[in-house]
Chains A and B, each alone.
Chain A
Amino acid sequence: MRTTFVNSFMRLAECGHNIHLLTSDLGFKLFDPIREKYPEHFTNVGVAEANMIGIAAGMAIQGFRVFCYSIAPFIIFRALDQIRADICHMKLPVTLLAAGSGLHYSYEGMTHHAIEDIAIARALPNMTVLAPGDPLECEVSVNETVNLHGPCYLRLGGDHNPVVYENSQRPKFGEISCLQSNGNIAIIANGEMLLRAKKAIELLKKEGIICRLYSIYTLKPIDHITIEKIARECSCIVTLEEHNVINGIGTAITEILFSCGYLGKFKKFGIPDEYAKELGDKEWLRDHYGLGHQKIALEIKKLVDCL
């Protein structure tokens, strides 16, 4: 998805958009195409995240749409005071590119994990929050962010993410996409969990359990209408996210389900409220927390068996 961002940024630069990319000294090789072709659109501010947000605010006041890149924990936790006072309250057009969200930087340890970012980003007034699950959603996110009048938190996963959308279906900004519409069991996922949800659905299908697949990549503002529709049509709803189970998108969806009177089954999958004690590679860590597609399928089967 990081490469998708780079390609989308280059296209926007080519179209003459008044955009600028700041990085706090991260993105080795990633930004080489931008640096070579559009050096005037790129600045490395050094390892100084708080300053990067302040500079972005100043540039945005002066008329630029600014993208700030770092890995997720450094950009949102380290610079949070600048984010809230300098860009959120002032409603400035600054997009935070949070790379390697969730457990992506597995062995790098907890300093590099970001399991609390969505909770914080969603609680910031004026902030649009996006967590694309495949390159198509990422492209739409980057393109739409230049039309926003305020700040945006764009949670990027890793690289080499496959396209999850099929045929000619394309994501619509601000809307939950229905990627599979059969059955009355709904799985709502975002970010890198979208692919895992799809794989879990394939496993469940072999057991005769048919599930719908929804992708929610616009986390704020949230698509109430589609969630209420899902609540009316389904008897079992499951949310999947690579984030703390506290105050992630599962919590946000719960709030809507509760207020619209949903009475069916509900389960949210996410990272338990703890920092990683044991490390492993990405897949090991996800599996450790029950977020591998096989464990997800197993849990959903248990849930469905109780219906």
Chain B
Amino acid sequence: MSAADLSRIQGALAPWLTGSRLASDTRLDMETPAENLLAAVTAFRGLAWGYLSAITGLDGLGPAAGPSASEAAPGGAPAQGSASQHGTLGSIEVLYQFCQGPCLATLRVRVPRDRAEVPSISGAVPSAVLFERELSEMLGVHVTGLPGGKRQFLPDDWPPNVFPLRKDFLVESAAPVADSAPSVGSGEAPGTFIVPIGPQHPALKEPGHFEFAVDGEIITGASIRLGYVHRGIEKAAEDRSWVQGLYLVERICGICSHIHATAYALGVEALAGMTIPPRGQAIRTLLCELERIHSHLLWLGVAAHEAGFDTLFMFSWRDRETVMDLLEQLTGNRVNYAANLIGGVKYEIDAPAADAIRRGMDYLEGRARHYLKIVTTDESFLRRTRGVGTISREMSERFGTVGPTARASGVPTDLRAAAPYAAYGQFPVTPVVDQRCDQEARFVVRVRELSECFRVVREILDRLPPGDLSIPAPRKVAEGEAVSRVEAPRGELFYYLRSTGGVKPDRVKVRTPSLCNWAAVVNVVIGQKLADVPVILAGIDPCFSCNDRSLTLRRRGKTGAGGVETWSWEDLRTYGIRWYGGGRS
């Protein structure tokens, strides 16, 4: 692992690189011109190392000073206003971030702003499709050869050639375009019957829009349109101070708010070179685990509800209140705890609080055992989960699933163990893996993870380090870039932060776990029964608000043809099927 591996990569890719550098034992930076990108990525995949974690686009860099102008030297004040529309100034850099364990290998491609174009790497890395679509919509980097030309993230009436994440983007320029005929009804070929799900649909507590072509009860095609909850948080973060950003990212998702804030804080702290007191880190970790408990119980209920098992929904939500009470007792809030500071945490855990938590864990432990029994033995429930929505390990790796979805397919990926952050170094976690790959496995993994959470919480309480909770944070953060990866309840959460030394971030890139899991789901749903769709969708615990920080999804079309305004999931699917070597269709 680590340094040796990274040098091996450096060597293997050398023919295509124009510069490379081992920034540390776990960081490798490589530069390649756009024309070599595909070859380099293909060679990279040949090494069978790691997975594509994110594709980040940066704007506002200095002029491309030749291919070897290596380390991110931010090009002074970013060009603002219409002057730079002509694109003579500056360049855009696209970062392909591959990860394995704690290691991060970045392929950097710098392209001129006025001719921003990179080849699609989705041929070599199928999971890149959504990342590339996001890149092209948000930053205006044309990705040649990207399957499916329809919009996924931005609204239909968004003007062409306006890209919100460009530095010279003005809100006024995004005024709705009048002649943007929404592509209603375009998706129904003769002879197919389309069932729309979303954006307002009981199976989705959040808006997302899916369309399933059905033959009787069997799904023959699937497409998805994201973007209903796209709020533009990445852009908004660039206009807020480092501290304000903390509260903004907390509101990316109300279910996993603490983990977003943690990832962001860890990133900023790394940039600023701060060392957080161990007690602060331990309490931060404890809250992460409590949040995971609440999130998994919530998921258990929602997934059971999707399978029409309302009693289990009611019971798990009743028990979830136990952990909600604890979170409220600790932080004063049930959701959006605002517990993180840049430099530590706000809230202390005293002896009575610790006792209350222990009691809560004891109670929930018993309940978790009960739920494990239900999800593995209840006949009627197993009929809906066993053998349903199987994502094989190979498929899971190809499509880059993360978190419990991947672990239920036998992929032992858990950043808490593989790349311990915060206090996970002192309080190690064992990944819960299941080989069965189906819906039942996803239930089992999440419920068994609860037990792991209880153990970690108790351990932290028993060995809570003494000392301060936090240290003061600087107003300005040193120039540089940082990648922060944490294990959210739904899987790997990726933050890329870039500072130009000011009071505001230059770029905050968030790649949420749900985005990684879509591709696998859309492939797996074909050939399944309509009745199983909600269960399978719920199986990955999709979080649209995470997903759609810059996307939006929508709800069901009620009358007739309904809105068929689809980012072609179909394209991705055919693509995936082709890649997957035939398969069902």
Query: Do A and B come from the same complex?
Result: no
- Which B residues have a C-beta under 8 Å from some C-beta of A? none
